[in-house]
Structure 1
Amino acid sequence: MRLFGSWDNTRTTSGISYHCGFCGTNAAPSAYYYCVSKSSTSSKTTARIYICPNCNKPTYKSESEQIPGFKFGHEVKHLPNDEVRELYKEARKCTSIGAFTSSVLACRKLLMNVAVSQGAEEGKSFVEYINFLESRGYIPPGGRTWVDEIRKHGNQATHEIEMKTKEQAEGIIVFTEMLLKFIFEFPASVTSTSSS
């Protein structure tokens, strides 16, 4: 849809908040730029640009969209290499633009990269990577359910026509985040605490 109108000077605001797609904070700007759509009978504010008070970057918001959108999930510390770190960031970033099927696929691929980062050989089947993680204790008690959800939804995204929903992608991000924290963040946190 083409937006007709002009961007005008700032207006002050209060009580407005949004999750910044750049820095992830819950931003509460004090002013915004606005786009006014004018017709022969009326004018209406149709979109706004807020400047995040935390990172000073702009976010476009209309009634139906926010650009950039909020990346679902949380950062995980102590990820072992660029491949694991970047795939997790990619999966989260996909949720911010509505690419939910791509987010699920990235999480599935991430499981293979995690296994290789922990010593599994490259070129194995997906099931072999899952078995490797489980046999080495990288999947917590009860965590096999998380891994099976990631596997199941990833397989569906790969082999079936049906697209993944926002809720499904966010659920897979949660499972992936918990697994990454169990394997990387929690052990590194204990190590750094005990050496202090």
Structure 2
Amino acid sequence: MATPFDDVSVFETVNRYGKSSEEAYAMGDCPNCAAHQFVVIAMTSSRDRAWLRCMNCKLAVVSNGGVASPAVKPLRVPSGMPEDESEVWGEIRECLGVGAYTAAVMLCRKLLMHIAVAHGLPAKDGKDRAPNFAQCVDHLVAEGVVTKRMEPWIERIREVGNEANHEIAPVGRESALDVATFTQKLLELAYEMDDTMARTQPLQ
């Protein structure tokens, strides 16, 4: 009778494979630590399914037809971010990694508005209403967090975000990465530059 293990080779448990076998190792990008080499724990005979472990951080990764889980998260984490912003940025990167591009763009838009409030824009006006996107952008420019030259990029977030907000129109990978790349730059300007300066030793 067939079993779920018939086409699976588990390394170190069958005579065919061992630690010195080429098949026991694989190259790729670790989604956790960005190392590039994995130990193959097991794989199917067709080699389209594999269970891997990063040789550096020991994270377990599953590859199904060349699609890894957990996915590699693009972009980077700017330093100096408060916890709330850091958590949202982490979620944006996770969305990009798994192809949830519309969700990533909506979170980028929300994060931009949150940064404006964190930099002095009142969370509510006299009518108990939250600021709109344009007010947030104006505040970021007025406070010098972003410059006039960066406004076209903010407009890009607004345009793509509006499409995602008001229409059933999926956002593509390129547009999502455009928006997320600018959002990363905004986080660097809003938090990382101050954090870097605070850690820099004064000139002697």
Task: Identify the TM-score tier after normalising by the shorter chain.
Answer: 0.7 to 0.9
Distance in 2, matches of 1:132 and 1:169, equals 24
Select which of 134, 144, 149 maps to 2:151. 144
Asked if 1:7 is matched to 2:8, the reply is yes
Q: Conserved in 2, the CA contact under 8 Å of 1:105 and 1:158?
A: yes
> 1:31 Cα deviation (Å)?
3.4
TM-score w.r.t. the length of structure 1 is 0.85
In the alignment, structure 2 segments of 5+ residues that lack a partner are 12-16, 124-129
Select which of 18, 21, 24 maps to 2:28. 18
Amino acid at match of 1:119: G
1:64-96 per-position Cα deviation (integer Å, ceiling 9, x unaligned): 4111111111011001x2221111111111012
Write the mapping of 1:152-191 to structure 2, written as runs, cut at 5 A. 152-191=159-198
> 1:150 Cα deviation (Å)?
1.5
Asked if 1:111 is matched to 2:95, the reply is no
Three-state SS of the structure 2 residue aligned to 1:54 is coil
Three-state SS of the structure 2 residue aligned to 1:92 is helix
> 1:169 Cα deviation (Å)?
1.4
What corresponds to 2:126 in structure 1? none
Percent of aligned pairs with the same residue? 24
Q: Conserved in 2, the CA contact under 8 Å of 1:25 and 1:54?
A: no
Q: Which runs of 4+ in 1 moved over 4 A?
A: 3-6
> 1:152 Cα deviation (Å)?
1.4
Distance in 2, matches of 1:54 and 1:166, equals 29
Three-state SS of the structure 2 residue aligned to 1:66 is strand
What corresponds to 1:126 in structure 2? 133
